[in-house]
């Protein structure tokens, strides 16, 4: 339990480091070790009033053999810049999102798959853009990540990349 607390504290420290970089770019290269979590958008130049697809994604290190079996996290945003519209279903394992805090700028999400996820998108939602600088308000906190089958706590291996990336999905 003590190691879990240390890992969780380390994860929170990583998630809350200095102000995130806000430039948009291609999806980051996979880490050689550990797990990288990040936020993507499908249209960084979308106009005010249009819809943007926001996703939380992870990449497992190139040298890792671990599959992700469960996770919890929170997507934060400024509700004056983005307005939650709908969640997009991900058909891989059990996934849930709680949008009751969306009016205050928070979506909680979680998932579980005993044999591990094949889709490494943890959350997928549509938002209406209220301000052109909406990307500056997107932040991510990963609270828990565990391995499939073994249920090993992977939280200490997770880093949150604060840059916003271009999604691999086509515009909708």
| Model pLDDT for residues 94-114, shown as the tens digit of each residue | 999 999 999 999 999 999 999
Which pLDDT does position 169 carry in this prediction?
Answer: 59
Q: Which residues contact 150 (CB under 8 A, 6 or more apart)?
A: none
The pTM score is 0.82
The lowest-confidence range among 13-22, 123-132, 153-162 is 13-22
For residues 41-76, one letter each, b for 16 or more C-beta atoms within 10 angstroms of the residue's C-beta and e for the rest, the string is: bbbbebeeeebbbbbbbbbbeeebebbbbbbbbbbe
Q: What's residue 24's pLDDT?
A: 54
Domains of the chain and CATH, by start: 2-166 (2.60.40.680)
Looking at per-residue pLDDT, the higher value among 114 and 15 belongs to 114
The more confidently predicted of residues 65 and 159 is 159
Q: According to the model, what pLDDT value does residue 32 have?
A: 81
13, pLDDT greater than 70? no
Chain mean pLDDT for the chain = 85
The residue among 85, 95, 80, 35 whose CA lies nearest residue 60 is 35
Per-residue pLDDT at 6 exceeds 50? no
Of 130 and 14, the structure prediction assigns the larger pLDDT to 130
Sheet of strand 24-25: strand arrangement: 24-25, 158-166, 35-41, 51-60, 121-129, 82-87
Give me the pLDDT at residue 36, please: 95
Task: Flag whether pLDDT at 10 surpasses 60.
Answer: no
47 pLDDT higher than 80: yes
For the chain, give the percent of residues with pLDDT over 70: 83
């Amino acid at each position: 339990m003590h190691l879990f607390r240390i890992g969780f504290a380390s994860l929170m420290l990583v998630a809350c480091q200095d102000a995130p970089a806000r430039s948009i770019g291609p999806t980051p290269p996979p880490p050689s070790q550990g797990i990288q979590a990040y936020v993507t958008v499908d249209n960084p130049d979308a106009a005010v009033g249009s819809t943007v697809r926001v996703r939380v994604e992870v990449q497992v290190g190139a040298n890792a053999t671990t599959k992700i079996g469960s996770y919890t996290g929170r997507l934060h945003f400024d509700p004056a810049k983005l307005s939650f519209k709908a969640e997009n279903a991900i058909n891989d394992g059990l996934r849930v999102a709680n949008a009751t805090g969306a009016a205050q700028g928070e979506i909680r999400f979680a998932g579980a798959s005993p044999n591990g996820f094949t889709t490494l998108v943890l959350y997928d939602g549509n938002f209406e853009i209220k301000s052109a600088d909406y990307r500056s308000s997107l932040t991510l906190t990963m609270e828990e990540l565990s391995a499939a089958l073994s249920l090993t706590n992977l939280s200490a291996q997770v880093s949150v990349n604060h840059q916003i990336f271009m999604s691999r999905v086509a515009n909708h």
